[in-house]
Amino acid sequence: MEERFACQGYSERFVPRGRVCTFCIMDESDPEIAFDAAGRCSDCITAASKRPAWMALPVERSPSFDDTIRRLRKRRSREGFDVMIGLSGGLDSSYALICAAEAGLKILAMHCDTGWNSRQSVANIESLCNRFSVPLETTVIDWDAMRDVQRAFFRSGVPNCDIPQDHAIAATVNRAAAKFGIRSFLSGGNWAGESILPAAWGHDAQDHVHLRAIWRQFGDWSKAKCFPRHGVFQKRIWQPYVRGVTVWRILNDLRFNPLEAERRLRNEFGWQDYGGKHCESVFTRVFQAIYLPMRFRIDKRRAHLSSLVVSGLMTRDDAMRHASEPPMSQDQAERDVAYLCEKLRITATEWCDLVASPPRTHESYATGQVERRLSRFARRYIEPRMQIRRNW
């Protein structure tokens, strides 16, 4: 272990930046944020407008819930599966699995091991699959390639260094679905806890052009032959319009409360906490709780907590209180960074240089313009004709 890593001043990184919304707790760490006359921000106004319409009714689940279950059963694969779910061991996908299994769907679970599983997430995946007799397919990503591309993203200076993991997981799950003839995906994505995520904090993880541009410039692109990849074309055109793949965000059709779901998972299923949203991967924990606040002054919890405020599951005061506490102590941050650097073979000096150097935007590198236009075209002209419903 080399001397102390660059986490000095860590706990001071969690104060609001500039103006704060009067309704949620979003601030000017979102460079595209705007405020109305009452001081309410564009992030929470947009999020509120996307609330699923049925939630205004005095019912516990969407009126279309049973109909969706019937449709999924009709599309059962030749192997006898109704849906496939990518299981990370995190709260949302774990709870989506439980709800679908309780609704009687035949599920195939898929887990992609990117080399960063926390002990708790592995235990969560195994116990849930055993409990509901759900078969589990696990794919292990080539570690040499994963390390090289993750290091390349850190060196590029862009905010979303989680693109390699997200890309590999999506490509792997899609391949497995094609192999098993499954055309319906179950997703843990949900409005209640995730309605706010500023576009400026990230970039489409399925953008293969972008992945290649950064990997080529800052790493060894020849390792990409061992890395599962797919393009926006496959994801946005081939999958939905040629293969007829649909995604059902089941938690948007239920009155989902992430805080209650966590209690239920813990009490009834022995589910173990791993400390924070999306922190089931050790990489994601360091990236979100340390790297983003240290280098970009971005605290993703601010968006997650604001989403809970918008869905009425948390008061603004409570959200403020949570956000003002650092996610971990400085000592823990230093230990986590030391672990990450050792695994990625980054030296202490390089980490300090990375954190201190000026950030770059995703637009500083090539992005998949043609594929994006194609995807927009499909959404506008092909989708309405095929009467594809976005949420299932």
Which CB atom, from 109 or from 319, has the smaller least distance to Zn ion? Answer: 319
Q: How many CA atoms lie within 13 A of 95 on its CB side?
A: 27
Strand-strand pairing, 107-113 and 83-86? parallel
C-beta of 68: minimal distance to Zn ion in Å? 31
Residues in contact with Zn ion, counted by CB under 5 A, come to a total of 6
Which CB atom, from 42 or from 272, has the smaller least distance to Zn ion? Answer: 42
For residue 346, the Cα-to-chain-centroid distance in whole angstroms is 25
Interface of this chain with Zn ion, residues 79 to 138, rule: CB under 5 A: none
Which CB atom, from 155 or from 301, has the smaller least distance to Zn ion? Answer: 301
C-beta of 324: minimal distance to Zn ion in Å? 17
Which CB atom, from 36 or from 325, has the smaller least distance to Zn ion? Answer: 36
Which of 3-11, 13-21, 228-236, 381-389 is the region at the interface with Zn ion (rule: CB under 5 A)? 13-21
72 binds Zn ion (CB under 5 A): no
C-beta of 186: minimal distance to Zn ion in Å? 30
Residues 135-154 vs Zn ion: string with x where CB under 5 A?
A: --------------------
Residues 17-46 vs Zn ion: string with x where CB under 5 A?
A: ----x-xx-x--------------x--x--
**What is the SS3 string spanning 59-97?**
CCECCCHHHHHHHHHHCCCCCCCCEEEECCCCHHHHHHH
Which CB atom, from 28 or from 220, has the smaller least distance to Zn ion? Answer: 28
C-beta of 301: minimal distance to Zn ion in Å? 15
Which CB atom, from 113 or from 318, has the smaller least distance to Zn ion? Answer: 318
C-beta of 41: minimal distance to Zn ion in Å? 3
C-beta of 298: minimal distance to Zn ion in Å? 16
Which CB atom, from 50 or from 179, has the smaller least distance to Zn ion? Answer: 50
C-beta of 17: minimal distance to Zn ion in Å? 14
Which CB atom, from 35 or from 233, has the smaller least distance to Zn ion? Answer: 35
- The residues with which 109 forms a beta bridge, in sequence order, are 85, 136
C-beta of 260: minimal distance to Zn ion in Å? 24
Residues at the site binding Zn ion, with contacts judged by CB under 5 A: 21, 23-24, 26, 41, 44
